[in-house]
Chains A and B, each alone.
Chain A
Amino acid sequence: MSEITQKAFAAGLFGASLPPDGLVAWNEAVPQRRYDVYRNNVTASLTGALASRFPAAESIVGADFFRAMAADFIKNHPPHSPVLLAYGDDFPDFAAAFEPARPLAYLPDVMRLEVARGRAYHAANARPLDPAALAAVDPARLGSLVLVPHPALSILSSPHPMVTIWAMNAGERPLGPIDPWQGEHALIVRPRLAVEVIPLPPTGARFFHRLAAGANLAQAAAALEDNGFDLTEALAILLRSGAFTTFKEDVP
């Protein structure tokens, strides 16, 4: 009996129907507003969870738009775990297909940056790569090193000025015209406790994408040929960012 009661109670929480049978109040037989308290709690609390993960997106679209988009997302993609730290990882994909948000082509990528920041925030702690350890490697063997990504690392590439738009809407830099409007790339890292967003030139992004995918340093450095971003600069960011924890030799 109670199993049926819970099923009916749960089923109505995402809808706008009458309360299920079997619910009463001391003074009324159909406790609509009382049931609505639970219905509102579910959507409002999950909207709050999403708003705390996507503050820049909320700032971009405004609170009302965000709430409406979140309500639609929650109904179609409710959480499947009581741990909500990762809830909304697929919210950027949802936003990309959300018709009213179509004019904001950059929004999903800004949201992906926020997902990466959230993931970095809760990632396992790990000590960043020690520059001295790398310096101790025989230079002739440097090219064969494969680096182990830090658990917090994400590398994002966007055809939109994703990092600038995020920074302007996260209070990291003042709002202003974006010129030139061009694609942006970034490392998201958390070498210690603070999450950092490190902008990269396009070739730098290719270098780090390759490294994170398991290419050795020589293979990744091949991505840098024929442009202004050289290996010295790439290695400087690699060491400064804490994007990797250690290395092993790539033995063919």
Chain B
Amino acid sequence: MIPSTLPRRAGAGFKPEHFADILAAPQPIGFFEVHAENYMGAGGPPHAQLGKLREDHAISIHGVGLSIGSMQPLDRDHLARLKALCDRYQPESFSEHLAWSTHDSVFLNDLLPLPYTGETLARVADHIDEVQSALGRQMLLENPATYLLFTESTIEETAFLAEIARRTGCGLLLDVNNVFVAATNHNLDPDAYVARFPLEAVREIHLSGHSETVDDLGAPLLIDSHDMPVKDPVWALYQTVLRRIGPVASLIEWDNDVPAWPVLREEVVSAQRMLDDAARQRAA
């Protein structure tokens, strides 16, 4: 099984509108991450761009459609497409979500939440075994941003993820913004969540912006919107994690209201600075 081997540096989610700027002024960047499903056409500009990026940079392929948290079997055709994509581009990492997005044959195009029970734990672990053996790679599993809870849940999310990683040998992708969003939405302390998180399994971190609204009763409800800069409390939580585990591959995600490349790159530089600080503290 090929392990996840992203450099312990800051990277950016790749947006096609930035391609010309990235080519025109090549700069060191830890890695680029792409959404797998956008590169499942037969040819054309998407593959031309990804091929060029692959030549110059480390690449992370991030799936958003495998529906690993689904109670129904995985889509074998989709798994075959993911395998073809990974075989073609040989990414440093492949990751997916602790979520589901397909029901019956309908693709719902959102990362939907699942209850945490012994039954779902067994199902998700089976699915991850299947993915890892199909791809011949270790995958990373990302913690979700959630807005509500299930009465049937019996296991804490952090314990659920720890057990999944233990059973399957998968790595974890810690989305620090998702931690902040979900903790706020469930009136929990994000630092306590991080303290319980199985940090030893983390191979990548995600950082992004979120928007703020309120629920029916006026309590804060944060939305994982990926449409603005990373907010200060999320940066602070990120630094807490880095103090605990040292530098780790860290991605800025900005998928909606995408800014000009220099703006996104500035966010990447901010993350890199924090990574450099963490490396110095480790050395001291």
Contacts and interface: CB of A to CB of B under 8 A. Distances in A.
A2 B115 contact: yes
Most chain B CB atoms below 10 A, which of A27, A45, A49: A27
Contacts of A19: 148
A42 B110 contact: yes
Interface in A179-206: 190, 193
A14 B251 CA distance: 32
A175 interface: no
Contacts of B149: 23-26
A113 B192 CA distance: 54
A6 interface: yes
B71 A33 contact: no
Interface string B189-228: 0000000000000000000000001111101010100000
The number of chain B residues touching the other chain, given as a range, is 35 or more
B252 to A, nearest CB: 20
A95 B89 CA distance: 38
B117 A2 contact: yes
Contact of B45 (A5, A30, A79, A193): A193
A1 B187 contact: no
Contact of B150 (A23, A27, A190): A23
A26 B186 contact: yes
A78 B37 contact: no
B146 to A, nearest CB: 9
A34 B147 contact: yes
A214 interface: no
A13 interface: yes
A122 B71 contact: no
A120 B106 CA distance: 25
Contact of A31 (B40, B148, B214): B148
A28 B216 contact: yes
Contact of B44 (A5, A33, A84, A122): A122
Interface stretch (B95-103, B129-137, B172-180, B274-282): B95-103
A248 interface: no
A7 B103 contact: yes
A132 interface: no
Contact of B152 (A2, A41, A79): A2
Contacts of B102: 82
A203 to B, nearest CB: 30
A91 to B, nearest CB: 15
A22 interface: yes
Contacts of B72: 3
A28 B42 contact: no
Given A6-B100, A45-B110, A151 B42 contact: yes
Contact of A23 (B64, B81, B148): B148
A91 B148 CA distance: 33
A134 B179 CA distance: 63
Most chain B CB atoms below 10 A, which of A2, A78, A123, A125: A2
A31 B216 contact: yes
A49 B223 CA distance: 20
A34 B148 CA distance: 6
A81 interface: yes
Contact of A193 (B44, B101, B123, B214): B44
A33 B103 contact: no
B120 A35 contact: no
Most chain B CB atoms below 10 A, which of A23, A30, A35: A23
B215 A31 contact: yes
Nearest to A37: B147
Nearest to B218: A27
Most chain A CB atoms below 10 A, which of B67, B75, B81, B109: B109
Contacts of A190: 44
Contacts of A126: 43
Nearest to B116: A2
Nearest to B108: A42
Nearest to A119: B41
A127 to B, nearest CB: 12
A34 B215 contact: yes
Contacts of B67: 82
B75 to A, nearest CB: 7
Contacts of B64: 82
A108 B186 CA distance: 46
B4 interface: no
A28 B217 CA distance: 8
Interface of B: 37-38, 40-48, 64-67, 70-72, 75, 78, 81, 100-110, 112-115, 117, 119-120, 123, 147-152, 185-187, 213-217, 219, 221, 223
Closest 9 pairs between A and B when the two form their complex, measured CB to CB: A82-B65, A122-B41, A10-B103, A125-B43, A124-B42, A41-B110, A34-B148, A34-B147, A3-B71
